[in-house]
A and B are shown apart, each in its own frame.
Chain A
Amino acid sequence: MAKVLMKGNEAIGEAAIRAGCLNYFAYPITPQSEVAEYLAKRMPEVNGVFLQGESEVAVGYMIFGAAACGERVMTTSSSPGISLMSEAISYISGARCPAVFVNIMRGGPGLGGILPSQGDYLQATKGGGHGDYKMLVMAPDGVQEAVEMTMLAFPLAEKYRNPVMILGDGLIGQMMEPVEFPNNLNKEPTNKDHWATNGMDTRKSKEKNIVKSLFLDPKVLNDHNLTLKSQYEKMKKQEIRFEAYNTDSDYQILIVSYGTMSRVCKTVIDNLKIQGIEVGMIRPKTLFPFPEKAVYDAACKKSCKKVVSIEMNMGQMLEDIERCVKGKKEVSWYGKCGGDVPTPEEIINHIKLLLK
């Protein structure tokens, strides 16, 4: 299929349809409203469902109700809206329903700003809502990857019966890039008759299904949490995705960076190479599960003196990198979070400072 020029937000909407998701609920918020605007027009063309809810709180539960019927369903929002949906994400995780959430991050805390940010890393990977749950979190570095990850998110959500989040920053949503839609593989949802509330008549067993997150018996709740944990462990074994950049070289500095920020870092690495300075990068594509071993191994390379986390926040992924590097190398952070993306020059200067 030929490439088309599309804005990230619109491409994410189209990707959902191509992945067989014909159900979309959302509430407007900058900088992701174009997804809703695109799908408001597009869903009727494919006999899909588009509904603008009255709040992100309500939308979270519209997603839950639809997901609990076993239907493919997605919402998109931005940071403050995701905070409001976090209650529903906890319930959906507890009830083991598949659903796709897209967070096109803006600056925070509070209303923060409307410019790009990566300030929701910890919210996305460590919780946000209450209880012991995890989402599978993927971070695209551009419009093409946003499309591919959105399309992958649905089968993954169904495989683990767990919410999947696409974590992009405002730039991913707002910029236009040429994009190619893959022929979709996994349009048919997996068998859901053993858990979904899709009407007893449609099922062979004729047994009722209950979708719930309340387990009053302490042993049953503990066992339920162990089941959830085993799913997260399975994700750690099967779903880690990352890109290694210039790691064949004898790099002195290892960058760990994701999303838009990692693309700036690639320019930095290419420019420094010309100047005779080798820098390597591990770019996590999945933030949970985190590429722990890849970061550790790359940090342990003999030539590597220091590790730096470069993020559009105040050093959130830094905590995971420190955890992975286990004190083998010095780990520090560089970044900004007001909405300005650090420039290649600024990062080059910082790396030269680290090498002094």
Chain B
Amino acid sequence: MGKTFLKPEALSNAYTHYCPGCTHGIIHRLVAEAIDELEIRGRTVGIAPVGCAVLSYNYFTFDFQEAAHGRAPAMATGIKRVRPDLIAFTYQGDGDLASIGMGEIIHAANRGEKFTTIFVNNAIYGMTGGQMAPTTMPGQKATTAPFGRDVKETGMPIKMCELLSSLETKAYITRQTVLKPKYINKAKKAIKKAFEYQIEKKCYTFVEVVSTCPTNWGMTPQKALKWAEDTLLPYYPLGEFKTPE
């Protein structure tokens, strides 16, 4: 019997710098599988954010650009406007996308730019060391919210899918997670669908992936998965928020 589970061609052989138990690796793989299956590797440009995934260009085997903090959607706009034949995706965390890059993401979505965003939401700043993010849960501890997020001072966590879905422009907007195998299979389908819509030049496509950060949450990977399922999923419900049909 031959091998049935191979490393996608779109993933490199590099060891990642991600922490043990981090779900970035799974999400990278899902993106790579979708790109392989759609045979678009040779015309894909990824845009790395500022955040944990800043070095993601080392883990994929196709063209990449590295954005400034929050600006990936503007760069993807530049790419798709001048080279509509290329496939572009931004891979952004919650600090990058929902805080400093809020302006860029809303306007890119509202213009209906034909690129894909993979939005990895783990409710905290990872790379800078566990500061509060716009998606940090009420009461959740962070290095800049040592007593837990006080929503009286900082407002409620921002739900990006719901926010972007309120725009009138046609889009594909979905929230997925990779906390369990059953979720991973669904997330894969959603990511592939997003790229398919992009290939068809149908609409802007946005896949949020609820993720974990065991290191900055101060939890074991196992506990982080459970905490995410118990705490994040009720507030960030999974599903398709908007489809172009």
Please give the residue numbers on chain A whose beta carbons come within 8 Å of chain B beta carbons, in ascending order.
23, 25, 49, 51, 53-55, 57-69, 71, 73, 87-88, 91, 95, 197-202, 206, 208-214
Contact = CB atoms under 8 A, between A and B. Distances in A.
B143 interface: no
Please provide the 7 A-B residue pairs with the shortest distance between their CB atoms, ordered closest to farther.
A65-B78, A201-B42, A65-B75, A61-B74, A212-B66, A66-B78, A197-B63
Contact of B81 (A23, A61, A87, A213): A23
B66 A199 contact: no
B35 to A, nearest CB: 12
Contacts of B78: 25, 61-69, 73
A61 B100 CA distance: 14
B82 A58 contact: no
Contacts of B82: 23, 49, 66, 69, 71, 73
A4 B82 CA distance: 30
Contacts of A213: 66
Interface stretch (B43-51, B168-176, B186-194, B203-211): B43-51
B57 A65 contact: no
Interface in B43-78: 43-45, 47-48, 54-55, 57, 60-68, 71, 74-78
A211 B77 contact: no
Given A54-B104, A210-B66, A212-B65, A68 B83 contact: no
Contacts of A88: 68, 71
A256 to B, nearest CB: 36
Contact of B76 (A54, A65, A73, A201): A65
15 contacts: A23-B81, A53-B77, A53-B107, A54-B107, A58-B74, A58-B104, A60-B74, A61-B74, A64-B78, A71-B82, A73-B82, A198-B86, A199-B86, A201-B42, A210-B63
A157 B1 CA distance: 56
A198 B74 CA distance: 17
A197 B81 contact: no
B75 A68 contact: yes
A180 to B, nearest CB: 29
Interface in B72-108: 74-79, 81-83, 85-86, 103-104, 107
A88 B68 CA distance: 8
A208 B65 contact: no
Contacts of A198: 63, 83, 86
A68 B65 contact: yes
Contacts of A67: 78
Listed residue (B44, B47, B68) with the most chain A CB atoms within 10 angstroms of its CB: B68
Listed residue (B54, B64, B74, B77) with the most chain A CB atoms within 10 angstroms of its CB: B74
Contacts, number: 129
A44 to B, nearest CB: 13
B149 interface: no
Given A61-B104, A212-B66, A199 B45 contact: yes
Contacts of B60: 208
B103 A57 contact: yes
B65 A214 contact: no
Nearest to A196: B63
Contact of A61 (B42, B61, B75): B75
Contacts of A68: 65, 75, 78-79
Contact of A65 (B42, B54, B77, B107): B77
Contacts of B45: 69, 197, 199
A48 to B, nearest CB: 9
Contact of B79 (A54, A66, A95): A66
A124 to B, nearest CB: 20
B41 interface: yes
Contacts of A210: 57, 63-66
A69 B79 contact: yes
A53 B113 CA distance: 12
Interface string B20-47: 0000000000000000000001111101
B109 to A, nearest CB: 11
Contacts of A211: 64-66
Nearest to A67: B78
A163 to B, nearest CB: 14
A199 B42 contact: yes
B216 to A, nearest CB: 20
Contacts of B47: 65
Contacts of A73: 78, 82
A64 B73 CA distance: 11
A91 B71 CA distance: 11
A68 B78 CA distance: 9
Given A61-B78, A69-B83, 8 more contacts: A23-B82, A25-B81, A54-B107, A61-B68, A61-B74, A61-B75, A73-B82, A212-B57
A54 B103 contact: yes
Contacts of B48: 212
Contacts of A62: 74-75, 77-78, 81
Contacts of B67: 61, 64
Given A49-B81, A66-B81, A69-B86, A58 B63 contact: no
Contacts of A58: 71, 74, 77, 103-104, 107
